Amino acid sequence: MNPKEPFKWRHFQSELILLCVRWYLRYPLSYRVLEEMMQERGLLVDHTTVYRWVQAYALEIESRCRPYLSQTNDSVRVDETYIYIKVKGEWKYLYRAVDSNGNTEWH
């Protein structure tokens, strides 16, 4: 695959290819479900074609998106510190949360 022109010589538009690959990777959809979804939109795409797209472009999409993803941290502790503030006329509690790296967030 040419990194500068990854969709060169493809029958379908690059937006359609990216849409199918993204939906397959993001949501629990099968290739046949994606085929039906494209048929509902008036596009005749075979499920094996979607499979080939995923095999060809999934790693490239992942490598290009990886630098823009932030690391997630599931460990959060809620501190005893809170503020009682008025938001749009209603009083709300605002709690301080501290993650395992020591970063403070207000929730």
Chain segment 39-57, per-residue pLDDT in tens: 999 989 999 989 988 998 8
Q: What is the pLDDT of residue 2?
A: 55
> Is residue 36's pLDDT more than 60?
yes
Query: Is there a contact between 107 and 94 (Cβ–Cβ < 8 Å)?
Result: yes
> Is residue 85's pLDDT more than 90?
no
> Is residue 80's pLDDT more than 90?
no
Q: What is the pLDDT of residue 92?
A: 85
Using the structure block, give the residue that is written with the tokens 């969709």.
Answer: 7
Any idea where the domains of the chain sit in the sequence? Answer: 14-68, 76-106
Q: CB neighbours (10 Å) of residue 94?
A: 12
Per residue, the 3-state secondary structure of 60-94, as one string, reads: HHHHHHHHHCCCCCCCEEEEEEEEEEEECCEEEEE
Q: What is the mean pLDDT of residues 76-95?
A: 76
Q: What is the pLDDT of residue 78?
A: 62
